[in-house]
Amino acid sequence: HFRHEHVKMALLFKKWRTPKTKELLEEITDRFTELENSPKPDANNFFANIYYNALKFTYHYSLLDFENALKAQTEVLKIWEESPEMIDSNQTAYIAQLSNYIGCSISCKEYKLADKAIRKLEKMETGTFDEEGELFQNLYFYKQYYYLNQSDFENAIKLVPEIEEGLKKFSNKINPARKLSFYYNNTVSYFLTENYSA
C-alpha cells in the first residue's frame, strides 16, 4: 500500500515538481491526509516504513516545505542506517536517499548536516559501474551545489575537471536534466568569478 502511494506521489512530483493547479494540489493533499489518517506501518517492516516516510518527504518537498521534508527524510535515513545489511544489498537506493537528504539540508541552510552527509557519500565504495555512476552524479552534484550555496566559488570551480571527466565516463548513466544542471552550475561558478571565457 505505502509503496503504491509513494510511486503515485513520486510520479506527480517528477512531472510537476510543485502543484501547478488547484486540482493537483487538492489531489496530493487528499492523498497525504489519507496517509496521515491510516494506520502506521509495522515497525519491523523495513520497506513499508521507508515508503511511508519517503512519501511524506515527497509531499512536503513538492510544497517547498523543506523543514518538514527534512524531518521526513531524516527518518528515512535512520531506517536505512539501522539496517546496514539493506544498504549492502540496495546501495544505489541508499545513495539516492542520502542525496535527497543533502539537497533538503542545503535548502534548509543546514550546511553542517549537508557536509556530514557528503562525507558519508565520499567514503562509500561501489561494486558495479551503475553504482559508481550513481555515486558520481549525486556526490559531485551536491558537493558543488553545497559550495555554490555558500558562495564558495573557488571550491566549486575546483570540481569542474572531475565533473567533466565523470560526465564523459558515465554519459549513458546520467539523465539529461542532471547533465544540464551540472553544466549550469559550472557556468555559474565561472560567471560569478568573472571568468567569462571559461
Q: Is 82 exposed, middle or buried (0-12, 13-18, 19+ CB in 10 A)?
A: exposed
Q: Which cell numbers hold the place of 17? A: 515538481
- Tell me what pLDDT residue 55 has: 85
With cell 496530493, the residue in question is 28
pLDDT tens column, 77-90 = 999 999 999 999 99
The yes-or-no verdict on residue 15 having pLDDT over 60 is: no
**What's the pTM value of the predicted model, to 2 decimals?**
0.86
User: pLDDT exceeding 90 applies to what percent of the chain?
Assistant: 66
What percent of the chain is helix, strand and coil (3-state, nearest 5)? 80, 0, 20
From residue 175, how far is each of 62, 138, 179 by CA, in Å? 21, 12, 6
The set of long-range contacts for 168-172, using a CB threshold of 8 Å and a minimum separation of 24, is 169/133, 169/136, 170/132, 170/133, 170/136, 170/137
- Tell me what pLDDT residue 41 has: 80
Confidence of residue 63 (pLDDT cuts 50, 70, 90): confident
pLDDT tens column, 142-189 = 999 999 999 999 999 999 999 999 999 999 999 898 999 999 999 999
